[in-house]
């Protein structure tokens, strides 16, 4: 099955058939597999001569342009990276940065103009079926399941189209249902579940056939905090205990910060940062300061807002509490401005920058040429 929006699951065969085509979307609630072939996963996947089994996904010089002439858009611009087996990599970027095009190019639903992709050492142009045999994807949320089928039937169905005998992975399905708090709903049709539960079924379906590399687009979108945490824990467990490789695209920085070993940040089709979360956080010249003072009035808050991009202000019983995110120069300037305005500082607290601060800094170009 080709990875595609609203279907979300792949194995080698259809990806082989459609590599290079823009895949169409299909509604995800009916049409129970009538036109789907059950394919058998190749018995053995021969690594190529350059195979490195520690590298799950290797992308080299990937580019994709849409359109011609003045209106052409370079969605992905000469991108390259390796993703180690068993790691969880977050793909971040503002809207239009090229994340979806990059993922679709890797999955073979968009034909790149240049570059190559190897999955577990296998070039997907040369041997797409083998390359995709252990890949699965959940794109654009909770629409890849068959709503007339029960939760467990979905898991069995998706295991089957991944080329796996569903009876042989029953334990895995039991564990997925337990880990994702879906046991009580195992025999309920998916259409009768809440949105968050449907999202969890989508993830379970992606993992049902024993994929070794999964691409997840906004996997926690629409989940409540508890469900999101459960899902994050399960992803970490699968990566650590079962060597699952995950490429995760999300706008939720907390999720990325918590679950990812490494982060790729895209902007204008290029990768502008590629590092661990810790390294990105320690490398930032971003300071977040909270200052409380009775002397800060609305007029001063407006002046500060005019000068500093990221300023939050809260009216307190007496005065204001402001929060400013800035670099070192801005911090000195802020303190000088407050001193010149005769402000007595009641409380000054620095808050560690988080991934969101780093992301804003990088994608707004504040950090120079990294
Ligand atoms: N099929 C297409 N035809 C023309 N332009 C496209 C097509 N798909 C994407 N683009 C353009 O390519 C650029 C990258 O889009 P893409 O969807 O990959 O970004 P993204 O990072 O996934 O954005 P978002 O976070 O909003 O989903 C954008 O300028 C977009 O308009």
Name which of 3, 264, 246 is nearest 109 in CA terms.
3
Q: Give residue 324's domain range.
A: 287-352
ipTM above 0.95, yes or no: yes
Domain C-terminal end among 276, 299, 321: 276
124 falls within a domain:
yes
Spacing, Cα 268 to ligand 1 middle (Å)? 10
Calculate mean pLDDT across residues 240-269.
92
The enclosing H or E element of 265 equals strand 262-267
Pocket of ligand 1 (CB under 6 A): 66-67, 73, 75, 93, 95-101
User: Which residue reads 């169409």 in tokens?
Assistant: 24
What is 287-356 written as a DSSP string?
EEEEEEETT--HHHHHHHHHH-SEEEEEE-SSSEEEEEEE-HHHHHHHHHHHHHTTPPPSEEEEE---HH
Where residue 143 falls among pLDDT bands split at 50, 70, 90?
low
pLDDT of residue 63: 97
Atom 27 (ligand 1): residue with closest C-alpha?
95
pLDDT of residue 53: 61
Q: Is the pLDDT of residue 309 over 80?
A: no
Alpha helices in 108-262 (DSSP H): 128-131, 151-161, 170-179, 195-207, 225-242, 253-259
167 falls within a domain:
yes
Atom of ligand 1 nearest to the CA of 98: 18
Spacing, Cα 96 to ligand 1 middle (Å)? 5
Domain C-terminal end among 248, 276, 304: 276
353: phi then psi, degrees, rounded to nearest 5? -65, 145
Q: Is 303 found in the same domain as 268?
A: no
Structure tokens at 302: 């407006």
122 falls within a domain:
yes
pLDDT of residue 105: 93
340 falls within a domain:
yes
* Mutate-to-test residue for ligand 1 from 75, 93, 248, highest number of ligand atoms within 8 A of CB: 75
Number of domains in the chain: 2
Q: Is 226 found in the same domain as 309?
A: no
Q: Is 272 found in the same domain as 291?
A: no
- Cα 335 to its chain centre, rounded Å, is 38
7 falls within a domain:
no
Q: Is 169 found in the same domain as 22?
A: yes
Q: Is the pLDDT of residue 31 over 80?
A: no
**Cα–Cα dist 148/164, whole Å:** 22
Name which of 311, 331, 308, 333 is nearest 320 in CA terms.
311
Q: Is 247 found in the same domain as 105?
A: yes
What single-letter DSSP state applies at residue 112?
A: -
Name which of 288, 262, 289, 182 is nearest 230 in CA terms.
182
**Cα–Cα dist 232/223, whole Å:** 11
- Cα 41 to its chain centre, rounded Å, is 26
8 A C-beta contact, residue 32 and residue 148 = yes
Contacts for 141 with CB less than 8 Å, ≥ 6 apart: 199, 202, 217, 218, 221, 222
Q: Is 308 found in the same domain as 263?
A: no
Spacing, Cα 110 to ligand 1 middle (Å)? 12
pTM (2 d.p.):
0.74
Q: Is 302 found in the same domain as 193?
A: no
Q: Is 181 found in the same domain as 305?
A: no
Burial class (CB in 10 A: 0-12, 13-18, 19+), 225: exposed
Atom of ligand 1 nearest to the CA of 22: 1
CATH of the domain at 47: 3.40.50.300
150 falls within a domain:
yes
Q: Can you say whether the dihedral through the CA atoms of 40, 44, 50, 53 is positive or negative?
A: positive
Q: Is the pLDDT of residue 33 over 50?
A: no
Structure tokens at 322: 């402001």
Contacts for 76 with CB less than 8 Å, ≥ 6 apart: 62, 63, 64, 98, 101, 102, 105, 112, 269
Max avg pLDDT among 161-165, 259-263, 322-326: 259-263
44: phi then psi, degrees, rounded to nearest 5? -135, 140
Q: Is 205 found in the same domain as 324?
A: no
Spacing, Cα 18 to ligand 1 middle (Å)? 20
Q: Is 341 found in the same domain as 272?
A: no
Atom of ligand 1 nearest to the CA of 269: 14
145 falls within a domain:
yes
Spacing, Cα 73 to ligand 1 middle (Å)? 9
pLDDT digits (tens, 9 = 90+) for 80-91: 999 999 999 999
Where residue 5 falls among pLDDT bands split at 50, 70, 90?
very low
pLDDT of residue 151: 96
Spacing, Cα 162 to ligand 1 middle (Å)? 29
8 A C-beta contact, residue 57 and residue 214 = no
Q: Is 123 found in the same domain as 264?
A: yes
Q: Is 261 found in the same domain as 189?
A: yes
2 falls within a domain:
no
CATH of the domain at 300: 3.30.70.100
């Amino acid at each position: 099955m080709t990875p595609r929006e609203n279907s979300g699951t792949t194995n080698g065969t259809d990806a082989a058939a459609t590599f290079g085509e823009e895949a169409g979307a299909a509604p995800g609630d009916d049409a129970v597999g009538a036109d789907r072939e059950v394919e058998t996963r190749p018995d053995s996947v021969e690594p190529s001569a350059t195979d490195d089994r520690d590298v799950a996904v290797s992308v080299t010089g990937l580019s994709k342009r849409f359109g011609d002439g003045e209106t052409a858009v370079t969605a992905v611009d000469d991108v390259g990276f390796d993703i180690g087996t068993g790691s969880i990599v977050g793909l971040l970027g503002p809207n239009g940065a090229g994340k979806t095009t990059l993922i679709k190019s890797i999955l073979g639903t968009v034909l790149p103009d240049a570059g190559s992709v190897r999955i577990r050492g296998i070039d997907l142009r040369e041997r797409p079926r083998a390359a995709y045999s252990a890949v699965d994807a959940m794109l654009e949320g909770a629409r890849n399941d068959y709503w007339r089928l029960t939760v467990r039937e979905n898991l069995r169905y998706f295991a089957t189209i991944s080329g796996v005998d569903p009876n042989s992975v029953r334990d895995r399905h039991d564990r997925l249902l337990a880990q994702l708090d879906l046991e009580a709903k195992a025999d309920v049709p998916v259409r009768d579940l809440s949105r968050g539960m449907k999202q969890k079924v989508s993830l379970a379906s992606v993992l049902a056939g024993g994929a070794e590399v999964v691409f997840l687009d906004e996997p926690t979108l629409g989940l409540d905090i508890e469900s999101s945490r459960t899902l994050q824990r399960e992803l970490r467990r699968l990566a650590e205990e079962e060597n699952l490789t995950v490429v995760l695209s999300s706008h939720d920085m907390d999720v990325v910060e918590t679950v990812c070993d490494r982060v790729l940040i895209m902007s204008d089709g290029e990768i502008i940062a590629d590092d661990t979360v810790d390294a990105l956080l320690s490398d930032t010249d971003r300071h977040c300061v909270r200052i409380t003072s009775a002397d800060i009035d609305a007029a001063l808050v407006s002046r500060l807002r005019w000068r500093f991009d990221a300023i939050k202000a809260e009216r307190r019983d007496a005065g204001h509490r402001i929060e400013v995110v800035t670099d070192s120069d801005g911090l000195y300037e802020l303190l000088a401005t407050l001193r010149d305005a005769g402000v007595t500082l009641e409380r000054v607290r620095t808050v560690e920058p988080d991934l969101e601060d780093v992301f804003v800094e990088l994608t707004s170009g504040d950090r120079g040429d990294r």
